[in-house]
Amino acid sequence: MAGNNMLEGIRIVDMTSVIFGPYCTATLASMGADVIKIEPARGDEVRRVGKPAATRGMGPCHMTVNSGKRSVTWDLKTPEGQAELRCLLKQSDVFIHNLRTDAIERLGLGYEAVKRLRDDIIYVHCSGFGTEGPYAGRAAYDDIIQAASGAASLLPRTDDNPAPRFLPMAMADKVSGLHGVYAVLAALFHRQRTGAGQHVEVPMFESFTHFLLQEHMYGRTFLPPNETAGYPRQLDPHRQPMQTADGYIAVAPYTDERWVRFFEVTGYADFLTDNRLNSARSRFQHLDRMQIKMRELMLTRTTDDWLMLMASHDIPANRVSDLDEVFQDPHLQAVGFFRKRTHPSEGGYLEMRPPVRFSAGDSADMRPSPLLGEHNDEIVETLGVNRTQQGSSRSA
């Protein structure tokens, strides 16, 4: 593969499913790692999400979170499947899975067992909850983690609807997947320095809660607490996209200097003479009043007019895009974020270019997302396994 291959030569055995683990391993594949996805006969559940373009099991989410990988379907409940996987693990650098501890132990693939196959292997367990707590072993999905972490309580703080609600994306899965990426990279770096492999646990609940509370721990940071949890700026119900004369816009003056400039350039400098807004400290304490006034002013001009005015005075602003409009965003088009590619079975598709840029080279030229079991024979051949003698372990 051409391009950025910083992880070239690193082989990863990926026994994860849905989004958490697959997003992690797809990110590692984008940096050149050889990721071999072990799937059951029915395939990863994410293959069946959404309407496939042509082939059953090639749904749109599979096309994104499993790009860059090779797929094998080995029946791990058979001696043949176990033999093939053990042979592969001996030749691999990382083993990553998201099975619960009791399930992986039943397969004979706990850390100590895998370590006996390769002493310096990086063994990564993507779990729902840390094994040291009372929730250990529980099944966990994005909804469960958003509920447990407090994330579902955020939207009710910003409007008049008291019902807890999920943030409408698989945020806990994806955030935890990125925690998995740095965990793998750190463990590989540690092995390079010391020669030692290790067991790494990436618990979803702890990962997402750590992410969530960076700002929202707020007053609970101190002992005893001096305020409640929840960062007021983020929870301000008035800090939302604002309607203009012909659409919606987001404006974020953020610093006191820019707030003052906003009211000056709009001709409302007198608004800040109010004794609740006549100093930087008082303006910070009454941000809601400025947000309300800004919302009123937005209705007086078109979105394009506001964008031109804000840009000319260095006040951050952007039109509010619908999801389908993002694909025409001029910045994303200019940086080549979306790449048109042709899949061998599915035809044309869009690939997202990895967002991080390295001066050592561009991102790897990713393999297209694999068909279920597409690489069974290819991987077995590289392992030197004699299937004639042991029989095929390909799942029926």
- Check whether 394 has a pLDDT greater than 50: no
According to DSSP H, which parts of 150-267 are helical?
A: 171-194, 204-216, 232-235, 256-265
Mean pLDDT of 193-203: 98
| pLDDT score recorded for residue 5 | 83
Query: Pairing state of beta strands 34-38 and 11-15?
Result: parallel
| pLDDT score recorded for residue 172 | 98
| % of the chain at pLDDT higher than 90 | 90
What digits encode the pLDDT tens for the residues 347-383?
Answer: 999 999 999 998 887 665 789 999 999 999 999 998 8
Rounded Cα distance between 279 and 199, Å, is 54
Mean pLDDT of 318-342: 96
| pLDDT score recorded for residue 389 | 44
What digits encode the pLDDT tens for the residues 254-279?
Answer: 999 999 999 999 999 999 998 889 99
| pLDDT score recorded for residue 385 | 63
| pLDDT score recorded for residue 363 | 61
- Check whether 94 has a pLDDT greater than 70: yes
| DSSP 8-state class, residue 226 | S
- Check whether 134 has a pLDDT greater than 90: yes
Query: Of all helices (H) and strands (E), which one includes residue 379?
Result: helix 376-383
Q: Which residues pair with 71 in a beta bridge?
A: 37
| pLDDT score recorded for residue 160 | 87
Rounded Cα distance between 362 and 354, Å, is 9
| pLDDT score recorded for residue 361 | 75
CA distances from 117 to 15, 95, 121, 378 (A): 17, 11, 9, 22
Residue boundaries of the structural domains of the chain: 11-212+358-390, 242-319
What digits encode the pLDDT tens for the residues 55-64?
Answer: 999 999 999 9
- Check whether 73 has a pLDDT greater than 80: yes
Task: Kindly report the average pLDDT of the chain as a whole number.
Answer: 93
Rounded Cα distance between 169 and 324, Å, is 15
Q: Which residues pair with 69 in a beta bridge?
A: 35
Which of 89, 111, 121 is closest to 191 using CA atoms?
121
Rounded Cα distance between 129 and 101, Å, is 11
| pLDDT score recorded for residue 295 | 96
What digits encode the pLDDT tens for the residues 1-25?
Answer: 345 689 999 999 999 999 999 999 9
- Check whether 391 has a pLDDT greater than 60: no
Rounded Cα distance between 292 and 72, Å, is 57
What digits encode the pLDDT tens for the residues 207-229?
Answer: 999 999 999 999 999 999 999 99
Which of 88, 78, 79 is closest to 118 using CA atoms?
88
Asked if 93 contacts 25 with a C-beta cutoff of 8 angstroms, the reply is no
| % of the chain at pLDDT higher than 70 | 95
Asked if 384 contacts 378 with a C-beta cutoff of 8 angstroms, the reply is no
Mean pLDDT of 309-334: 97
Its CATH architecture, for the domain 242-319, is 2-Layer Sandwich (3.30)
pLDDT band (50, 70, 90) for residue 340: very high
Rounded Cα distance between 364 and 22, Å, is 17
CB atoms within 10 A of CB 191: 17
- Check whether 336 has a pLDDT greater than 50: yes
Rounded Cα distance between 5 and 15, Å, is 23
- Check whether 346 has a pLDDT greater than 90: yes
Asked if 354 contacts 337 with a C-beta cutoff of 8 angstroms, the reply is no
CATH topology of domain 11-212+358-390: Rossmann fold (3.40.50)
| pLDDT score recorded for residue 387 | 53
Mean pLDDT of 41-57: 94
| pLDDT score recorded for residue 275 | 84
Mean pLDDT of 284-299: 94
- Check whether 102 has a pLDDT greater than 50: yes
| pLDDT score recorded for residue 390 | 45
- Check whether 393 has a pLDDT greater than 50: no
**E-assigned strands of 264-392?**
317-319, 338-343, 347-352
| DSSP 8-state class, residue 1 | -
| pLDDT score recorded for residue 359 | 87
- Both structure tokens of 20: 């958490």
| pLDDT score recorded for residue 360 | 84
What digits encode the pLDDT tens for the residues 293-320?
Answer: 999 999 999 999 999 999 999 999 999 9
- Check whether 131 has a pLDDT greater than 60: yes
- Check whether 89 has a pLDDT greater than 70: yes
> Which residues have a Cβ under 8 Å from the Cβ of 24 and sit 6 or more positions away?
16, 96, 126, 177, 178, 180, 181, 184, 202
Rg of the Cα atoms in the chain: 25
- Both structure tokens of 317: 């602003």
